Structure 1
Amino acid sequence: MTAPPPPWRRTPSPRRRAAKQMLSQELIVKTALEILAAEGIDAVSMRRVAQQLETGPASLYAYVANKEELDELMLDAALSEVPCPEPDPERWTDQVKEQVRHQIRAMMAYPGIAKVAWRTPIPVTPNSLRQGEVMLQLLRAGGLDLKQAVFAGDALSTYAKAFAYEASGWTFGDYDPEEMSERGRQMAEYMRSLPTTTFPNLLQAGEYFTAETSQPRLEFALEAFVAGLAVMVKR
């Protein structure tokens, strides 16, 4: 038999709101990512996160310095999902390409986070640093010296951010479909009006710039870049 609570002990009402979670940097970033997933990157602000957590914006600044830091922390959370493989000198070219693909997928998993990555030239959060170190390890395992690995890693990171940024715009509706359709029609008409003898290659290139060719273009760029690095190593 279960004894009822004594009369002096207050019994919570079923309608009583649950106690708020203890504020922390982790909770603030988690809430920001939830807003981002539901409403997009432009909806994320310190005030909006504070509203979601039922507190004032000032209370967030004890954990996050400003919106720029919040953006970097969201990017860091996205990059936490990217694996960190042990370098294998026998398959370093495949590992480098795989790592870039993983980074792009991680950025595209969150609507707008690629925009954050693009406008954060040198992120120094834990997972950003870890990804930078992993890429350098993979490149050096292939035989590149530190300078070559740094330059190659920077170029690959820039390409990954640019690709994810552009692809996210289409995936998450940054571009109005009707507006882009009309722009595409106008561009096609404009290109057809150009002299065929002046732009013979450009006038035939349109078929290779479609949503269907997005992945093949990525794979071509990775293959060409990494193949060039491999030749550099052999020299």
Structure 2
Amino acid sequence: MKESPFLRRAIKPQRPAKNPLGRDEIVRAALRIVKTEGIDGVSMRRIAAEFETGPSSLYAHVTSKDELLQLMFDEVCGMVEIPPLDPPRWKEQILEIARASHRILLDHYDLARAALAIVPTGPNALRASDAMIGMMLAGGVPAQHAAWAMDRIFLYVTADAYEMSIWRGTATEEEAFPAELERDLRAYFEQVPVDLYPNIRAHAQELVSGDAEARFEFGLALLVDGLGKYVTK
């Protein structure tokens, strides 16, 4: 039967264009998720839902979750501002990089966990590592000690940030939990057998004192100030 010229086919509504999908977009989406849900909340299926597509679409850009976590960690490494080398301030500059790295990792929940079992080799991680080694060399630290110190400092920064994410994940009240933990630990230390642990019992208050930031700064100072004994010029 001949179609009437007065009949019109229904016009299908135009579907909105999907978000562009590429490696950078995938990494940024994953970082948005990790900031509120942590590493365990990041999955290919979860990220694919952000782009209204299936997980298989992601594998053309990222081969696995492990690779994605490495890309995410390198992305946050790129958020660390690297100051121009200033040899007279080499220790202060190392502290600046370490503090900035620590703050950024804390802002991304438990992403630090992704770096503890690997050697970060992404371009941004290498940039930060290279800058820190250069600062030590400029301060007169021998190359071998500079290389090891860089590794130890970033390990300390990463491990501390990860530990803080564990406490944050356990706490029900951000401010109340550390105070409650401090009280419980002090009470425990004060009742341990004095003949076995005399120093623990006598200095229970010192053992639990100080907030997370003060303890981090103390440990960081120990590492950086200790470099002074290796300076050769």
User: How would you bin the TM-score normalised by the shorter chain?
Assistant: 0.7 to 0.9
| Equivalent in 125, 130, 134 of residue 127 of structure 2 | 130
In structure 2, the CA distance between the partners of 1:66 and 1:209, relative to structure 1 (3 Å rule), is farther
Which residue is 2:3 aligned to? none
User: Aligned partners of 1:138, 1:213: CA distance in 2, in Å?
Assistant: 29
Bigger mean CA offset, 66-75 vs 160-169: 160-169
In structure 2, the CA distance between the partners of 1:25 and 1:77, relative to structure 1 (3 Å rule), is same
* Residue 143 in structure 1 maps to residue 178 in structure 2: no
Measure how far apart 1:39 and its partner are.
Answer: 2.2
Structure 2: unaligned runs, 5 residues or longer: 1-9
> 1:132-160 CA deviation, whole Å, 9 max, x = no partner?
11111111111112211111111101111
Measure how far apart 1:190 and its partner are.
Answer: 3.9
- Maintained 8 Å contact 2:186/2:208: no
* Residue 74 in structure 1 maps to residue 72 in structure 2: yes
Which residue is 2:155 aligned to? 158
TM-score, normalised relative to structure 1: 0.83
Structure 1: unaligned runs, 5 residues or longer: 1-9
Which residue is 1:221 aligned to? 219
SS at match of 2:198: coil
TM-score, normalised relative to structure 2: 0.83
SS at match of 2:231: helix
In structure 2, the CA distance between the partners of 1:44 and 1:206, relative to structure 1 (3 Å rule), is farther
SS at match of 1:193: coil
In structure 2, the CA distance between the partners of 1:11 and 1:69, relative to structure 1 (3 Å rule), is same
User: Aligned partners of 2:206, 2:180: CA distance in 1, in Å?
Assistant: 19
In structure 2, the CA distance between the partners of 1:116 and 1:227, relative to structure 1 (3 Å rule), is same
Measure how far apart 1:209 and its partner are.
Answer: 4.8
In structure 2, the CA distance between the partners of 1:127 and 1:174, relative to structure 1 (3 Å rule), is farther
Measure how far apart 1:20 and its partner are.
Answer: 0.5
Measure how far apart 1:208 and its partner are.
Answer: 3.8
> RMSD of aligned C-alpha atoms?
2.8
* Residue 194 in structure 1 maps to residue 192 in structure 2: yes
